[in-house]
Each structure stands twice: as C-alpha cells, then as structure tokens.
Structure 1
C-alpha cells in the first residue's frame, strides 16, 4: 500500500476509488483537475495524517471505478495500513449515508473543528457511526467451535459474531449470541483484541470463551452448520487480516 503522509483517498458515492493499477492514494496535485465536493481529515494513525476528497463526479480522471475493499485490506502490510484503509472506508460510508439532520431534516454541513457534521438549524452534531459487535472463538479441550454462515462462500467456516444490543455488556452479548446461533452455553469469557471492520461500520471486540454445556444446534438462518475442529482438521478459515483469523491463530498457538 505504501502509506504516504498527507495523501488523499478519493470517493464518489459510498465507494473509495482507484485507478487502473488499483492505486487508491493520490497527491494534492492529482486533485487539481477534479470536481471536489468536500475534503476532510481522517483520524491520525501513528501520528500521520491522511485526507479524503469526495468528488461530485468521477468525471475525467484516471479513476476507473470502485476499489475492491476486501482485496485491498487483504494486501495491507501491517496494522497501520489496515487501520487507515478501514477508517477511510467507514468515513466514506458515513458521509454518503448521513446527509440530513435526524432531528429536523435540515441538510447537514461539515463541522469546522471535528470529524463530524452539524445541523445549521438546530445545532445537532452527527459523528461517524460505529456499531459495536462481539466475535468469539469457543474452545472445548483441544478443539474450537467454527461455523458456516449463510453469508459465507461454500466451505468457509469462521468464529461466531453478532451485534451488541442496547444496554447489554459485551460479555453478555457473547453468551447470548453463542446460545442463539448454535445452542451452546459458554464460560470464562476473556477479551483478546479488537478491530475496526468497515462492512459497513462495525467495531469488533474479540473474545475467547470456554464451552460449558449443550449440544451444537445451528439456528438454520444465520448459521447453517457448525462443529468442533482440532488443529489438524481445520476447514477453510478466514484470511489473516481478519480478527476471526487472529482468534483462530491464537487458539492454534496455545493448544
């Protein structure tokens, strides 16, 4: 990816844009011929600054279309690169999705100080949206519980995940989601790591948990199949840039 400070991500609509070489960071000079609607700063990553320029129209430039975000994330070299690209994608989605004030329907404008939009009529501030989620690897002796979701490609298995509901702790969400999706109770829930996940604006809190009781019973809607797998017979699992893979790798390391 080759992060260069003060580079620009470009977007039109809800997509980040790239050129014919799948390049998606551009210089100030390359923006001169483009019709830019608005520019704003991303949160700093490792004390480095990056910006987004939102185009009114893709128009007459080197850009050919929308960036394949999953592919680009899979090619990031480190956590900084992943974080910058994830932040850019989530901010673009937010900018495209929140145009009007949810209180009075006035068109929002960019805040001059913060990464936010403000209503010029009632003063309401709208910040980039984050949806907190849990993701958990359940262990049972030397095996782990992996599931095939209705959203996955054929043969792909991963950890269990779900959104945290209003008023709910992350730990309770782990217990609830595991029970709802596969009918199993868990104990000894331990936090491991987190990851911002831009599909479209999830914030994943990763946990390990131990099996307590129950028989695996997939819900048949979100989860089509699930089973216990040992290190020697793992199915097709998610790529290394995902938090689910980090949890699986942590399990493998400690078996």
Structure 2
C-alpha cells in the first residue's frame, strides 16, 4: 500500500467539527466502514456521534483532512462494520487503504507508548506529536518501523524464465510469493537477503537489484524488494517457515499475492522483462 503523492502527513490537533474530513475509526484493531454493496466507504459526518475516544490528525489527502480515533464501545449502528485492513483489499480505494494503514500504526504507537519503557513514568507528546517523551528521564520514542527484505529469485533455463515462489507458513490461504524476512541487528538489507534465502530454501543468489519498497502495516513493516539471480544450490525448504517452494515457469504460475502488494508488482515486472505481452500479466494484474 503506497501513500498517494497528494497526501501530506500532519500532526496538528484534529477539528472534530470538520464534517468534510475522512474519518479512520478503529474498533479492536479493525477499520470501521459503511457497507456499500460489494464495496465499502468511510463513515461520514452522520456518524460523528459514535463513542470516539481522542480524535487525532493523520494528515491531508487531496485537500481533505484525515482524522483517526479508536472507538470505546463495541456496538456499531446498523450498516457499519469493523473490518481488518487485509479484508478491505478491492473494497476500499487504495489511497484510503494506505492512509488507514498509517492511522493504524500511529494509533498502535500511541497505545503502546503511554508510559516510558525505561522508568515507567507517563509519557507526553513530543516533536509536535510525532513522538512520545518521558518528562522524568528524557527518553524519547518514535513510531517503530521494522525493515524487511523481499527477494524474487529468477533463473533462465532452456524452456524460459522460472521464478522461485514459496508458500509461507504464515501466508493466509494458499498463496505463493517471493521470499521475505526481517533485518536483524548489524545487518544490511543485502546481508539479510543472502541469509534469509539460504535459511529458508538453501539457495545462494547473486546480482541483487533493487526494485522498490512498500509500507506494510501488519503491524509496522517496511518491505524492501529486490530481484536476484539463482547462483547455486537445490531447494531445501525450512519447514518452520516455508510449507512449499518450487521453481515455476512463467507459463504455469501458482496463486499469487494481491495486486496491491509490492510482491505482486515485483513478480509482474520480472515476467514483463522477458515477455511484456505475456497473457499471464493480464491474468494476474500487471502493474
């Protein structure tokens, strides 16, 4: 999920009387939306009497303020539902999903940093609301981001391009994707890539090429994606991490991640390098 170019992060106090604002309201970690046929939309001003705790600013999207808050009551009026963000793919516009991801991360940060992790004193707002500071010991905390590498490994055999795709133990459903793992202390992203690939599937890779990055608020990851060439080794999957891994020819791909994900864009782009008109790109949603 990518924040749109016309989104401006903001920290100023939210104006609860602003009826035009986008409202990102969360109940037990799920976004509150108004059912709209097969889709969904954010609650409008008609729902401003919901049991909102503290209303915070998220920023401004296309000239409209964006507010976020957690609801203090589990009862929702008729027509509203609380839906995890993953289940809103294809139901809510991507720009709103991206801002919702930011809102969820900021609310999680506010909830988990009410008190200082060093001395236990109550924190206060700091740096115009971007951070929390302990007035007793001075410790400052900013929202946490967890960098994670993603690696799509390819090889070109006698029958054409093949991609190494894996079904991770934590993937929802039967989805095959690129390999991924979190960066550990003292590692570069490249070090992490080599280590994770070898640990998860027993392969060595070469020719690492940066593709792009994506915020992934589940709960606070930053995915950094690379393409790599197979160098050596046979697939030996780590059963604790990988349920299945195999080389797939681009004419015979397994179920892939949603097109909103950087994994899907990475797979599409790697196919398009050798087959820009390949029918698989339209089937799987190129771009």
TM range (shorter): 0.7 to 0.9
Is the CA contact 1:194–1:243 (under 8 Å) kept in the aligned structure 2?
yes
1:73 maps to which residue?
Answer: 89
Distance 1:236 1:122, change over 3 A: same
Among 8, 32, 52, the residue aligned to 1:17: 32
1:79-130 deviations in Å (ceiling 9; x for gaps): x334212212222332333332111112334447133333343343322221
1:232 maps to which residue?
Answer: 251
Matches within 5 A, 1:1-255: 6-21=21-36, 23=40, 25-27=42-44, 30-31=47-48, 33-44=49-60, 49-59=65-75, 61=77, 64-78=80-94, 80-111=95-126, 113-141=128-156, 142-153=161-172, 155-255=174-274
User: Which ranges in structure 2 are unaligned for 5 or more consecutive residues?
Assistant: 1-6, 8-18, 275-287
Residue 174 of structure 1 deviates from its aligned partner by 0.9
Distance 1:122 1:27, change over 3 A: farther
Is the CA contact 1:24–1:67 (under 8 Å) kept in the aligned structure 2?
no
Distance 1:82 1:209, change over 3 A: farther
Kindly report structure 1 stretches of 4+ aligned residues shifted beyond 6 Å.
none
* Helix, strand or coil at the partner of 1:95: helix
Distance 1:152 1:143, change over 3 A: same
Distance 1:123 1:153, change over 3 A: closer
Is the CA contact 1:39–1:53 (under 8 Å) kept in the aligned structure 2?
yes
Between 1:228-237 and 1:107-116, the stretch displaced more is 107-116
**Aligned-partner Cα distance in 2 for 1:20–1:89:** 20
* Helix, strand or coil at the partner of 1:128: coil
Between 1:55-64 and 1:176-185, the stretch displaced more is 55-64
Instruction: Give the alignment's Cα RMSD to 1 decimal.
Output: 2.7
